[in-house]
Amino acid sequence: MSSSQAPSPADIRLPESAARALPSNWCAQVSAAMARADAHAQDGSGRLSGVPVYGALATMLVDWHQRRDPSVKAQLINTLDEMAPGVLSAPTRSGFARLAADPLRPPVDKTLYDNAQLVPLYAEAAQAFGRADYAGIARETCASVDGALTGAHGGVGAARDDDRVIASQNALMVRAWAIAGRTLGEPTFVEAAQRTARFIEQELVVEGRLQHRWRDGRTSRSASVDDLAAVSLAFVDLFEATGEPAWLARAAHRAEELWALFRNPTDGSLHRMSGPAASLSVRSEPPPFEGEPGAHGQAALALARLAVFTGRTELGAHADAILAERQPLLERNPRSLGLEGVAAAWRTSPARELAVLGARQDTEALHAELRRRHLPLLALAAVSPEKLDEAARLVPWLANRGVRPGHAKAYLCEGHRCQLPATTARQLAAQLDGPL
């Protein structure tokens, strides 16, 4: 579906719950639930028990950014400190490996799901808490996955003698590499993200439709809702890491494809099957605490962020519909949610937009200033002059911006209110740390 074919907000039948405002304290509620669970989850050795709830931890990082509650910081640091030697083994040559045996899932699957979700947590926690050791964990994990689990074709997810590649797993690693590369200043990780993203687009797309699996040059089965949600979200992060407008366009296209194929027209739930069989299928609902990301959270976060970048209100309405349908879980079992809390923060908090314009060598000082801060609700468009016109067709708040050759500018905005362009790192720092 092209952007011109996207349904308007009037075409969306929202459940009655969507008419209510989403709770602005979604992240805080998840933090409180995690604190209660932590109080009862000790096994006597001081280590946390159970499989890590990655989405809840990501939500807690946003909650820390919003409220600066010291108890949230303490629990996050305790959990991150415990995870590497506790629930997960120490980093190996293929990254983290879950200790708990799962006979229904190959070990490489567990390793990828763990690594791909741990990397953004540690990379962003390194920013939030100034922990160089967390940055080291993220770097080592990114490098080890690239070295041990990436094939010569660029796909991720199998040992060298087994070319079984799953779209959602590859997308998760694209996101992990993109976030780590951008937040830690590691261009090799961004290159790894682009290499695998190109593999997805070139080898896992048949006649315009994303496919679920690739093996030995052949694809099988159309993409699942999990595949499309993961790819859309990953490509948003890849746009932030590269400034390449094509990745944002592809993110929006996959999000539109997901909504067209898998949404339940009576509420915001997402089906696991598409087409006529969708009405007979159950909602996409992974079992809680297995450590695998859910489609609802990834899709809602992708749509919420795309709405900020593109200004397309229907994308935000799609995210709201998903979150409204998931909202009852916030009261019953918030730890079972994934990235829904982060998506809710994007929809209920003022999101800021930052345009960084100029050639990469000219904008490095501005990027270095960004890397010193944890800014989870910032939409970043770091675009080179030759890509600016193309990017502005997708991102309205890039229109009528410009920069002279050899110079750099940063425009920080919130909604339609923008500050004067910053041309130095000191100016940008003052704007990022102060009110608009």
Q: Quote the crossing angle between the two packed helices 26-40 and 340-348, to the nearest 10°.
A: 150
The region that residue 402 occupies, defined by phi over 0 for left and psi between -120 and 50 for alpha, beta otherwise, is beta
β 209-215/165-166 pair status: antiparallel
Distances from the Cα of 318 to the Cαs of 3, 56, 258, 281, 321, in angstroms? 14, 22, 11, 20, 5
| Collapsed DSSP state (helix, strand, coil) of residue 355 | strand
Q: Write 104-111 long-range contacts (CB < 8 A, 24+).
A: 108/149, 108/157, 108/158, 108/159, 108/162, 109/157, 109/166, 109/169, 110/291, 111/149
Measured CA to CA, the distance from residue 372 to residue 370 in angstroms comes to 5
Measured CA to CA, the distance from residue 141 to residue 127 in angstroms comes to 17
Whether the CB-CB separation of 304 and 343 falls below 8 Å is answered with: yes
pLDDT of 37? 82
Mark out the alpha helices in 350-424 (DSSP H runs): 360-371, 388-394
Find the Cα–Cα–Cα–Cα dihedral 369, 372, 376, 379, rounded to 10°.
10
Buried b / exposed e over 19-42, threshold 16 CB at 10 Å, is eeebeebbbbbbbbbbeeeeeeee
Phi, psi of 382 (to 5 degrees): -100, 100
Measured CA to CA, the distance from residue 282 to residue 428 in angstroms comes to 48
Profile the chain (436 residues) by mean pLDDT over runs of 10 residues: 35 40 94 86 46 86 98 95 58 46 53 89 97 94 86 76 82 97 97 97 96 93 95 98 98 97 86 57 46 89 98 96 93 86 96 95 97 97 97 96 94 90 97 86
Q: Which element (helix H / strand E) includes 301?
A: helix 295-310
Measured CA to CA, the distance from residue 416 to residue 90 in angstroms comes to 47
DSSP assignment, residue 434?
Answer: S
- Reported pTM: 0.89
Q: Map out the domains of the chain with their CATH numbers.
A: 21-349 (1.50.10.20), 351-436 (3.40.30)
| Collapsed DSSP state (helix, strand, coil) of residue 219 | strand
What number of CA atoms fall less than 13 Å from residue 418's CA on the CB side?
15
Q: Write out the two tokens for 263.
A: 């949404």
